[in-house]
């Protein structure tokens, strides 16, 4: 067993069940259908199962039918390891853009997604199950071991009232004075390379109409908030969030690491 | 006249026509329809017209009907200025993702979009008119003055054969050895702040299946190519492109500037 081997697998699936050599694992009807009717796999096919607690394991399909599948866990493919602790707090936006944001944020290594209702948020309902399904699919595709947590939507002041003091918050600011993003991140980058593991951070971006003046004022007064400018073009909310997450990962996160088995 | 004033305008439209105080400008049927039937504007309403050559101008609707609109150009709102010279070379992907990529790349200040056909590109046709319309809409929305140029699709080796030697190319590499993106960019950042204007660069990302080994080998041998790693998760092609563009703008581009009129 190595921490990463390159056995070709048919797909990668996140499962909550404990993973250990020789154990049997069942799948929910949706994933069983996916293996049987979309990928058209047969008993004997090998897939990868993973979760943040147990890492990634090879598993062989024992038997499958309409809406069920049982697998035998074989050997470990990747050991679990630390992942960046980076939250994204975002004002919900329209469905197609939100789907995209969740997918991209997951690929960019976000550990938790916090929908936050601001003054100018004009989306009233957030389909958390849809967000979670998108996040799971993106995690399976991008080869991370964890799923981002998807929190219940809360009002901005409620989120800030319970925000952990030690978690720095990078605030995407399109209005008012704010230092350039690169300056903010450079200040926290250890000389020459990011600290490992990076301390906890969050990124926050407002709704399509931006934060209200009073919201920005309140945010700027909080000791853990670091306003940052994302340049002269007015970015959409989803673009701003993805840009800030990418820059954070490049400068303070885990982008000095390579994909397992591909370096 | 100032280089930026905050007069509220109903919308921003890119026009090719020369813009100068007192001149009359007509709109194509699509934009005339947009003003009349979508925004429901009346004669007397003030919009902004812009292009990279003349900057941005206030203009008042003189008259409009079914499929036509004439405006009188009033006063200049923003003077033209230098913009980053950053190309994006990308293997075409499926339509919804490509729409998204073009929108985001435009917001992230790309000066030219180069569709490039690689070994594993499995999209055969690129609708350039659609790409151009998406780019224009994004430029109007994000308050840039220029439109990105949209080039004809070419094969990878043809693009590389005509690539200008002085234009550095940041290559998003998910396989093989590559320094971390932050290291590559830091090497080119002038002490403490980006050079202004930044020298010409390009970003290149492969198709969903990645570059073929032989393509990567050829790319790595070119003196203007700088391979860079975007971390341990396998990013989709569109995510990789957006992440690299955002980091380039933050470290070498114009993200020390603020949106006009919002600083």
CB contact under 8 A, B143 and A247: no
- Confidence label for B195 from pLDDT (cuts 50, 70 and 90): confident
Q: Identify which has the larger pLDDT, A237 or A8.
A: A237
Q: State pLDDT tens for residues A199-247.
A: 999 999 999 889 999 999 999 999 999 999 999 999 999 999 999 999 9
Name every chain A residue with its beta carbon within 8 A of the beta carbon of B235.
107-108, 142
- Confidence label for B8 from pLDDT (cuts 50, 70 and 90): confident
Note the pLDDT of residue B3: 43
Contact A225, A219 (CB under 8 A): yes
The answer on A230 and A180 residing in a single domain is yes
Note the pLDDT of residue B6: 62
| Mean of all residue pLDDT scores within chain A | 93
pLDDT surpassing 50 at residue A3: no
C-alpha–C-alpha distance, residues B225 and B204, integer Å: 10
Query: What average pLDDT does range A13-31 have in this prediction?
Result: 96
For residue B45, the enclosing domain spans: 12-78
The answer on A243 and A129 residing in a single domain is yes
The answer on B120 and B35 residing in a single domain is no
Which CATH number do you get for residue B187?
A: 3.40.1280.10
Q: State pLDDT tens for residues B229-242.
A: 999 999 999 999 99
The answer on A130 and A41 residing in a single domain is no
Chosen from A255, A260, A261 to mutate, greatest number of chain B CBs within 10 A: A255
Note the pLDDT of residue B10: 85
Single residue among B60, B78, B96 that ends a domain in this structure: B78
C-alpha–C-alpha distance, residues B219 and B134, integer Å: 29
B257 inside domain: no
- Confidence label for B263 from pLDDT (cuts 50, 70 and 90): low
Name every chain A residue with its beta carbon within 8 A of the beta carbon of B216.
none
C-alpha–C-alpha distance, residues A21 and A4, integer Å: 16
pLDDT surpassing 90 at residue B176: no
Which CATH number do you get for residue A21?
A: 2.40.240.20
Contact B230, B203 (CB under 8 A): no
Q: Where in B159-259 does DSSP place strands (E)?
A: 168-173, 201-205, 225-229
The answer on B187 and B57 residing in a single domain is no
Query: What average pLDDT does range A189-208 have in this prediction?
Result: 88
ipTM of the complex: 0.94
pLDDT surpassing 60 at residue B177: yes
Note the pLDDT of residue A1: 38
The answer on A91 and A56 residing in a single domain is no
Q: State pLDDT tens for residues B67-117.
A: 999 999 999 999 999 999 999 999 999 888 999 999 999 999 999 999 999
Name every chain B residue with its beta carbon within 8 A of the beta carbon of A182.
194, 250-251, 255-256
Name every chain A residue with its beta carbon within 8 A of the beta carbon of B108.
233, 235, 239, 243
Note the pLDDT of residue A237: 94
A44 inside domain: yes
Q: Where in chain A does DSSP place strands (E)?
A: 12-14, 24-26, 46-51, 55-65, 68-78, 86-90, 112-117, 149-150, 154-155, 168-172, 201-205, 225-228
Query: What average pLDDT does range B154-164 have in this prediction?
Result: 97
A206 inside domain: yes
Single residue among A52, A78, A104 that ends a domain in this structure: A78
Note the pLDDT of residue B98: 94
What sign results for the dihedral spanned by CA atoms B173, A80, A128, A88?
A: negative
Query: What average pLDDT does range B179-191 have in this prediction?
Result: 91
CB contact under 8 A, A141 and B236: yes
Chosen from B233, B248, B255 to mutate, greatest number of chain A CBs within 10 A: B233
Q: Given 3-state DSSP classes, what are the helix, strand and coil percentages for chain A, each rounded to the nearest 5?
A: 30, 25, 45
Residue written as tokens 């140029």?
B149
The answer on B56 and B24 residing in a single domain is yes
B259 inside domain: no
Note the pLDDT of residue B209: 87
Name every chain B residue with its beta carbon within 8 A of the beta carbon of A236.
103, 107, 141-142
CB contact under 8 A, B242 and A104: yes
Number of domains into which chain B is organized: 2
CB contact under 8 A, B258 and A182: no
Note the pLDDT of residue B1: 38
pLDDT surpassing 80 at residue B26: yes
Query: What average pLDDT does range B57-73 have in this prediction?
Result: 97
How many residue pairs bridge chain A and chain B with CB atoms within 8 Å of each other?
157
Q: State pLDDT tens for residues B204-257.
A: 999 988 999 999 999 999 999 999 999 999 999 999 999 999 999 999 999 999
Single residue among A29, A54, A78 that ends a domain in this structure: A78
Note the pLDDT of residue B171: 97
The answer on B64 and B153 residing in a single domain is no
A257 inside domain: no
Q: State pLDDT tens for residues A98-132.
A: 999 999 999 999 999 999 999 999 888 999 999 99
The answer on A128 and A71 residing in a single domain is no
The answer on A220 and A182 residing in a single domain is yes
A6 inside domain: no
The pTM of this model reads 0.95
pLDDT surpassing 90 at residue B47: yes
Left (φ > 0), alpha (ψ -120 to 50) or beta: where does A32 sit?
alpha
Percent of chain A clearing pLDDT 90 (strictly above): 85
Note the pLDDT of residue A10: 85
The answer on A64 and A108 residing in a single domain is no
A262 inside domain: no
Q: State pLDDT tens for residues B115-128.
A: 999 999 988 899 99
CB contact under 8 A, B104 and A177: no
The answer on A223 and A154 residing in a single domain is yes
A35 inside domain: yes
Note the pLDDT of residue B2: 40
């Amino acid at each position: 067993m190595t921490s990463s081997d390159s056995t070709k697998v048919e797909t990668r699936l996140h499962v909550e069940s404990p993973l250990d050599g020789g154990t049997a694992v069942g799948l929910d009807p949706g994933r069983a259908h996916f293996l049987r009717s979309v990928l058209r796999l047969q008993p004997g096919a090998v897939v990868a199962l993973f979760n943040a607690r147990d890492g990634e394991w090879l598993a062989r399909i024992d038997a499958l039918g309409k809406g069920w599948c049982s697998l035998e866990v074989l050997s470990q493919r990747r050991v679990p390891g630390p992942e960046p602790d980076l939250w994204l707090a975002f004002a919900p936006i329209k469905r197609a853009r939100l789907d995209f944001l969740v997918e991209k944020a997951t690929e960019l290594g976000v550990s938790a997604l916090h929908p936050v209702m601001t003054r100018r948020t004009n989306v009233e309902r957030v389909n958390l199950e849809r967000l979670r399904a998108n996040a799971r699919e993106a995690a399976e595709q991008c080869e991370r071991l964890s799923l981002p947590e998807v929190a219940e939507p809360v009002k901005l002041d409620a989120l800030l009232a319970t925000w952990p003091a030690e978690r720095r918050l990078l605030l995407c600011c399109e209005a008012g004075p704010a230092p350039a993003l690169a300056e903010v991140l450079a200040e926290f980058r250890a000389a020459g390379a990011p600290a490992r593991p990076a301390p906890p951070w969050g990124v926050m971006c407002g709704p399509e109409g931006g934060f209200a003046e009073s919201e920005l004022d309140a945010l700027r007064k909080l000791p853990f908030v670091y306003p940052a400018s994302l340049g002269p073009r007015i970015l959409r909310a989803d673009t701003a969030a993805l840009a800030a997450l990418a820059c954070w990962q490049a400068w303070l996160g885990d982008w000095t690491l390579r994909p397992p088995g591909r370096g």
